[in-house]
Structure 1
Amino acid sequence: MKARDSRKTRQRLAAEFGKQKSLLVFALLGTVVQVVLTVYLPLLIGRAVDLVVQLQTVSELIPLLIKMALVIGLNTLIQWLNPLLYNRLVFNYTYSLRQRVMQKLNQMPIAFLDKRSIGDLVSRVTTDTEQLSNGLLMVFNQLFLGVLTIIVTIITMADIDGLMLVLVLILTPLSLFLARFIAAKSYHFFQTQTAARGEQTQFIEEMLTQESLLQAFNAQEETLSRFKEMNNRYANYSQAAIFYSSTVNPATRFVNSLIYALLTGVGAFRIMAGVFTVGELVTFLNYVNQYTKPFNDISSVLSEMQSALACAERLYSIIDQEASPMLGIKNLAAEKIKGEIVFSDLSFGYHSSQTLIKKLNLTIPAQSKIAVVGPTGSGKSTLINLLMRFYDADSGSIYLDGVSIQDYAVSDLRQQIGMVLQESWLKTATIHDNIAYGQPNASREEVIAAAKAAKADFFIEQLPQKYDTFLEDGGSSLSQGQRQLLTIARVFIKQPKILILDEATSAIDTRTELLIEEALSQLMEGRTSFIIAHRLSTIRSADFILVMSKGDIVEMGKHGDLMRQKGLYYQMYSAQQV
């Protein structure tokens, strides 16, 4: 099965390189010229040796030396140009491959990413692509050159002496069989190595991003212990892979040295028998070197290619995933949106064996302000995930102004929804670019107006470069509350028709929260707004409140009505007032 997968991957790589026809033709033509010049040089050396042995005059030797100098000079130029062509071929391909992998990851539903390690995906896009690139460069620099050299030297050796050629052809396959055996063994270990590397990358990323939490809980020893275990596993897989791959070259060189010694002895006897000249023996032994050396290179390439193919399979496994089916075609014009949302017989579960939301029916009037509350795991965020189409319902539908949201183009739907999450995310860019993330063409005046509305302008103006301040590492130089203000400013500049606030003010101090709530109240006017909150005191003014438990809406109404019912909402609110 693995051999079949490896063969398919090789065929796919070959087909994709075939698309770069012009570069490929020039690269192959340059390789042919290089091989011809390399093989021609020993013939000239042999003739020069024979002239010296026969004590010929210097005048007869000079033309040969000039010709040798020209061949060496031209060959040097070709050997300088060929790698440039190979690099262009490989890097064009890997550039395209990275683009396709990232494009596919952006097309995949959130459910796909939730089930996979982020560190492993990062490792595939970066480390695996780099390792594949290195392996492919070896194919062009050594494999093609080596195979062509073998073919041309066989033809040339046959013209010099048939018996010696037969000996070479009988003995040299020994090193090739040995290399194939070792390469087959190393392939499995390279696969396990790449998988272990992805797991380790994920763990390192997770630990470094949560270093403060790790130290707060004194979890350093446990973390180091787990890392040591992962590191040992990765080291063992790497050692096994490197051990098998590194034995190829010395093993084949040993076999080739024995062959070289045997041919030298046979050639000496043939010179004494008068059927061979010294120059021909020198030429032939040069050809034996040229013939056997590619076997060493090819064996190294075969070993390295196992690692490269394992990386290619991991990358193609992402590209071959079915893209998100969320491809509605109806355009959603902002000016026509009223904002009525209907959940009809909606059922959904993150796992097929466990349904979280069952047959939910709910109508949200246009331009209303809805609060969604409930215990952890009750389905509050799930409801929002379905509205945003991060996930699709197992059955039932969600309608926006009477049209199923699955009929709308996903980009259009999300363009009209503004979302502020509890966890703030900022990209590595200026503050201006972060605020204008959803509206990249926004002017400085629009960005400043959004920052002022979000109450973020006061701290931005205190920064050295103000709106041109460059944020690195997710804005780690800012406080958590400041980062949250910037994410709220994004929504102000986007001016969406539907607003989702998921604990949007949880990281902000009480004074700023009051200012933000006033600004958000203005933003929510004329928009359908969902507010997910654990602090129930912040949602008392909602048009109505949905109380969720185990995926169902168990209570619904205004704050006063729910308090009089003395149900789950009453219990939650009373507990927070203690």
Structure 2
Amino acid sequence: MSRHKQQPQRGGHPGPGHGPMGSMVTGEKAKDFKGTLKRLLRYLKPRRNHLIAVFIAAILSTVFSIVGPKLMGNAITELFEGMYAKFQGIPGAAVDFTEIGKILLLLAGLYVLSSLFTYLQQYMMAGVAQNTVFDLREDVNQKLEKLPLKYFDSHSHGDTLSRVTNDIDTIGTTLQQSLTQFITSIVTIIGITVMMLSISPLLTLITFLSLPVSMFVIQPILKRSQKHFAKQQKSLGQLNGHIEELYTGHQVVKAFGHEKIAAAQFDKVNEELYSAGSKAQFISGMIMPLMFFIGNLSYVLICIVGGILVTNRSISIGDIQAFITYSKQFTQPIMQTANIANIIQATVAAAERVFELLDEEEEIKENTNASLTRAKGAVTFEHVDFGYGEELLIQDMNIDVHPGQTIAIVGPTGAGKTTMINLLMRFYELNGGKIKIDGVDIRDMPRGDLRKNFGMVLQDTWLFNGSIKENLAYGKEGAADEEIYAAASTAHADHFIRTLPEGYDTILNEEASNISQGQKQLLTIARAVLADPPIMILDEATSSVDTRTEVFIQKAMKRLMEGRTSFVIAHRLSTIKDADLILVMDQGKVIEQGTHTELLEKNGFYADLYNSQFSEPAAG
């Protein structure tokens, strides 16, 4: 294998069964194993009858399979004794093929029944697993709808998606596959032990003695391989992170000529991964040969002792054959049980991550004392205090906005402009004070009623995988085509949409990368136009369009904002000259307010901010 062509696996850790003996790399362990397991079992409680049926089917399937070698041994004994008697010249001696035929027919019937019950248990368990996973996904989806915005701000999207997809998939896979294997393995171990004891307790003792010898031999190897497997996973995570970083920013890498440095870094990490992986695989690869060697020594002892017992007529030759089959089968379910124990650890850890999400603090329950169908647009901030943590970002904010006014919010980065909008939409709860719409406290009305009165156009565009028409219609349920076309025309998006090969039926990909950033912004503006809300929020809505398009949008927005209360967050101060009121924010406080002309005449913070954007100081 070429040392520099090892392909990185997706993800940062192997799935269950990767590692020595297919099982010995333990995954993340649950903090509260018992508590999480009990909670997971509660999801299985409504399907306990199906689980009982699965358990019975697994027992019957395994029992029928275990009896097989014993019957085969009886057939061999019947054949051997008939041939032996015939060889001894006993008159009338012959092989009783009729009896052998009956045994083989019974054996075939047992194997058919075993296969049938195996199918039934897998079929029923698939239903149990999928229904359980369905319930979990439903609960998680409902939970996500109730989580406040601060949860998504404080948790990475990748981690949340991993809990919703990978962790729940892990639970489903374990329920569908590992649970039935665990039941089967336990029944097999018990059944084989009983069958071996019924044949010969002495031979059973020899078989059992090989287990501690095997564990004694492989334990040091396991410890050494674990260290290298851990290093392998660490290197694999570093390699994946390096690759993701480079491919995400490949244009920057090329622009600054860092290809050789990036390749050298890749080679270094890949070399570490190769070294750790090869050592881990080499050391762990010694385990199976050693176990086979110890197992073969056990078979030799069984054959020697069994041969002596056969010559003493203590057991039949068919029983020896059956016992050897059982002894070979005995180690497999033990290995499976050890493997499943590790998988269950990882599964409970995955379930714990899902339950942590389900236990997150939800949005404060709504009061439905007041209802707001369509607001007039009066907005009041009364002594508003707010902070993301213990330290307050906004203190004692007081604003009085009349219906139809355009309010511009300006200030340096981190001044609290977007925070103010988040509070207005009730994405966050206040630390103190009140925000009122038309004189009604926003905490006294359903969030749905409140947010229906707002239209938002953000700096970060959001479009989903679907047609342009579907993306625009997102702003208004049941919108007619004529309304969609009119909204697009108002936002100056109609022309570019019709120039596309499929027009309004053009499908946007997942990242909407098949249209430009400016065109994306035009679509989000058209979507807001279609929604026709009484209050508009524009957060740097024109930041991603060219100067000529910006002029068109400003005209469209001016028509759109007529008769509506509008909040405009802007960095380009030339775009908010006509605002009815400009709020200048710094460190969470409104330090200046007034019209564009009034603020320039004050020659304060706003005047400095405005003049800094032009080569020459602007006169009032």
- Coarse TM-score class (shorter-chain normalised): 0.7 to 0.9
1:469 and 2:506 are equivalent in the alignment: yes
Other-structure match for 1:58: 97
Q: Does 1:459 align with 2:496?
A: yes
Query: Alpha-carbon deviation of 1:456?
Result: 0.9
Helix, strand or coil: the match of 1:505?
coil
Matched, 1:269 2:308: yes
Would you say 1:32 and 2:69 are equivalent positions? no
How far did residue 13 of structure 1 move? 3.0
Q: 1:302: Cα distance to partner?
A: 2.4
Instruction: Give yes or no for the alignment of 1:418 onto 2:445.
Output: no
- In the alignment, which of 153, 156, 177 is matched to residue 114 of structure 1? 153
Amino acid at match of 2:335: N
Contact 2:30 2:352 in 1 (8 A): no
1: CA distance between counterparts of 2:324 and 2:384?
A: 79
Equivalent residue of 2:613, what SS? helix
| Contact 1:345–1:359 (Cα < 8 Å) also in 2 | yes
Percent identity reads: 36
1:135-154 equivalences in 2 (<5 Å): 135-154=174-193
The offset of 1:45, in angstroms, is 0.4
Q: CA deviation digits over 1:326-354, x for unaligned, max 9?
A: 6444564323x2222222222222332x4
Q: Is the 8 A contact 2:465 2:512 kept in 1?
A: yes
Report matched runs for 1:437-516 at 5 Å: 437-516=474-553
What's 1:406 paired with? Answer: 443
Question: Which residue type is aligned with residue 350 of structure 2?
Answer: C
Q: Are residues 1:350 and 2:369 paired?
A: no
Structure 2 match to 1:561: 598
Tell me the distance in 2 between the aligned counterparts of 1:237 and 1:324: 47
Aligned match of 1:530: 567
Letter in 2 for 1:555: E
**Rg bigger for which structure?**
2
Residues 352-389 of structure 1 show CA distances to partners (whole Å, capped at 9, x for unaligned) of 2x432122122222332101011122111111122122
Structure 1 residue 544: deviation in Å? 0.8
Q: Which residue of structure 1 aligns with residue 468 of structure 2?
A: 431
Aligned 8 A contact 2:370 2:440 in 1: no
Displacement after TM superposition at 1:254 (Å): 5.6
> Does 2:327 match 1:300?
no
Which residue identity is paired with 1:71? L
CA offset digits 1:265-296 (Å, max 9, x no partner):
33222222221111122222323333332012
Cα-Cα RMSD: 3.7
- The aligned runs of 1:144-223 (5 Å cut-off) are 144-168=183-207, 172=211, 208=247, 211-212=250-251, 215-216=254-255
For residues 368-411 of structure 1, what are the alpha-carbon distances to aligned partners after superposition, in whole Å with 9 as ceiling and x for unaligned? 21010111221111111221222222332322223322233223
Q: 2:610 — aligned with what? A: 573
Which residue is 2:417 aligned to? 380
How many residue pairs align between the two structures? 576
Higher mean C-alpha displacement, 478-487 vs 258-267 = 258-267
Q: Check the 8 A contact 1:329/1:409 in 2, yes or no.
A: yes
Partners of 1:272 and 1:236 in 2: how far apart? Answer: 55
In the superposition, relative to structure 1, how do residues 182 and 113 fare at CA in structure 2: closer, same or farther (>3 Å)? farther
The one-letter amino acid of 2:382's match is: S
> What's 1:278 paired with?
317
Partner of 2:106: 67
Distance in structure 1 (CA, Å) of the matches to 2:522 and 2:248: 21
Q: Per the alignment, do residues 515 and 4 of structure 1 end up closer, same or farther by CA in structure 2, a change over 3 Å counting?
A: closer
User: Corresponding residue for 2:21?
Assistant: none
**Aligned AA for 1:385?**
N
Output the CA distance in 2 between the equivalents of 1:182 and 1:406.
63
Q: Which AA in structure 2 matches 1:530?
A: F
Determine the C-alpha separation between the residues in 2 that align with 1:563 and 1:330.
44
**1:475 CA drift (Å):** 1.3
After superposition, the Cα gap between the structure-2 partners of 1:206 and 1:533, relative to the gap in structure 1 and judged at 3 Å, is farther
Moved more, 568-577 or 547-556: 568-577
Structure 1 pair 438–393 and aligned structure 2 pair: CA distance change class (3 A) = same
Of 293-302 and 223-232, more deviation after overlay is shown by 223-232
Range with bigger deviation, 410-419 or 204-213: 204-213
> Compared with structure 1, are the counterparts of its residues 383 and 145 closer, same or farther at alpha carbon in structure 2 (3 Å cutoff)?
same
Q: SS of the counterpart of 2:46?
A: coil
Match of 1:441, SS? coil
- Is the contact made by 2:380 and 2:400 (CA closer than 8 Å) also made in structure 1? yes
The Cα of 1:488 is off from its aligned counterpart by: 0.6
| Structure 1 residues 403 and 310, CA gap change in structure 2 (3 angstroms) | same
Q: Map Cα deviations across residues 465-501 of structure 1 (whole Å, 9 max, x no partner).
A: 1111111032111111110010011111211222100
1:360 equivalent in structure 2: 397
Q: Distance in 1 between matches of 2:41 and 2:284?
A: 23
Q: 1:490 to 1:514 in 2, by over 3 A?
A: same
Q: Structure 2 CA distance, aligned partners of 1:229 and 1:429?
A: 42
In structure 1, give the amino acid aligned to 2:54. A
SS in 2 for 1:122: helix
Partners in 1 of 2:424 and 2:257 — Cα distance?
Answer: 40
Which moved further from structure 2: 312-321 or 2-11?
2-11
Shift of 1:573: 1.8
Aligned partners of 1:242 and 1:303: how far apart in 2? 19
Q: Distance in 1 between matches of 2:529 and 2:281?
A: 55
Alignment partners' CA distance in 2, 1:444 and 1:306: 54
1: distance between equivalents of 2:39 and 2:282? 29
User: Secondary structure of the equivalent of 2:520?
Assistant: helix
Query: Which amino acid in 2 is paired with 1:322?
Result: E
Output the CA distance in 1 between the equivalents of 2:31 and 2:99. 58
Q: Counterpart amino acid of 2:161? A: V
One-letter identity of the residue aligned with 2:143: K
